[in-house]
Amino acid sequence: MLAAPATPEQAVATLWRSLSHDAGQAGDEAALRAILHPDAMVYGARYRDGTAALSVARGTDFAAGIGRAGEKGFYECEVAREVRQYDRFATVYSVVESRNERSAPKANFTGVNSIQLYRADDGWRIIGLYYQVERPGQPISLQGGKTGACLEG
């Protein structure tokens, strides 16, 4: 098993890298499992046909889904991040653009994320991830970030 990251920023950067993959490929399930706490939960909100929909998954199930090859490519580009930390607790507000093609000038959609982390003895682990995909007609602020300019760890 891979080691957990030494900082919340490294954990979040690993999250976005692990989800990204080329068409016909899978995301990096092993890297994702290394940063997820065994009891982590993932919540996602989006609009379907104008109606709000919330999905809920155990982190282990979310990671397994990332480990399956996708028909389309999927690239996450984190453009803004705010970290707040106290002792073994950290929360990260993250704005991410998602594209099916890495070099596409325009994102397919943008999402805002709230990531909660706990510093275990071996490093930082995500205990909760809540994301919301941009609502049509209500754009998400890039919080000073620039479209397509991805942050690093």
- Look at residue 3 and tell me whether its pLDDT is greater than 90: no
- The answer to whether the CB of 11 falls within 8 A of the CB of 4 is yes
Average of pLDDT values for 54-80? 96
| 8 A C-beta contact, residue 59 and residue 67 | no
Contact (Cβ atoms closer than 8 angstroms) between residue 2 and residue 18: no
State CA 105 to chain mean position distance: 20
- Say how far apart CA 108 and CA 19 lie, in whole Å: 15
* 111-121 tens-digit pLDDT: 999 999 999 99
Give the distance, in angstroms, between the CA of residue 148 and the centroid of all CA atoms in the same chain.
16
For each of the domains in the chain, give its residue range(s) and CATH number, in order of start: 8-133 (3.10.450.50)
